[in-house]
Amino acid sequence: MSLYKCGWFGIEELVSPDIVNLGDEAWELFDEKLLITLDRMRNVYGPMTINNWAHGGEITWSGLRTIECPYYNALSQHSFGRAVDIVFENFSTCEVEQDILSGPNLKEFEHITTVMYGEDYLHIDVRNGERFTVLTA
């Protein structure tokens, strides 16, 4: 069995600086369904940002959240490697959410169980279960 790594994202785009030092082992902290979904989303929606700290940006905690994170919650899907917050370059978060909920790409994003859009990001997660939830920020 091989370790799934995103084709479109480097590990530094999904974790904080302290976790990136784990190298390839950091990929093991993520649910494979989330990583597959991220690659599919990138194929459909084009450039998108999760964390950009490694490229001089200010976003550090939109992927995996550890206890060092100011937004840490032990029960958050971010803490289990099953959630990310995404900023899209070419689409609004509302457009992507509506596409996921009712558009032709619903089958392609079958692993998504929860969506929530805020002012400038879309939260998705792949928590265990068959129910689909739409949260509001």
pLDDT in the model for residue 122:
95
State the Cα–Cα distance between residues 120 and 85, nearest whole angstrom: 9
User: Strand 133-136 and strand 114-117: pairing?
Assistant: parallel
Return the CATH fold of 11-136. Muramoyl-pentapeptide Carboxypeptidase; domain 2 (3.30.1380)
Per-residue pLDDT of the chain (137 residues; tens, 9 = 90+): 578 999 999 999 999 999 999 999 999 999 999 999 999 999 999 999 999 999 999 999 999 999 999 999 999 999 999 999 999 999 999 899 888 888 666 778 999 999 987 778 999 999 998 778 888 77
State the Cα–Cα distance between residues 22 and 71, nearest whole angstrom: 22
State the Cα–Cα distance between residues 38 and 67, nearest whole angstrom: 24
Residue 11's nearest CA partner among 24, 3, 85 is 24
pLDDT in the model for residue 119:
73
Q: Which residues of 14-23 are buried (b: 16+ CB within 10 A; e: fewer)?
A: bbbeebbeee
Record the pTM: 0.93
User: Phi, psi (5° rounding) for residue 53?
Assistant: -55, -35
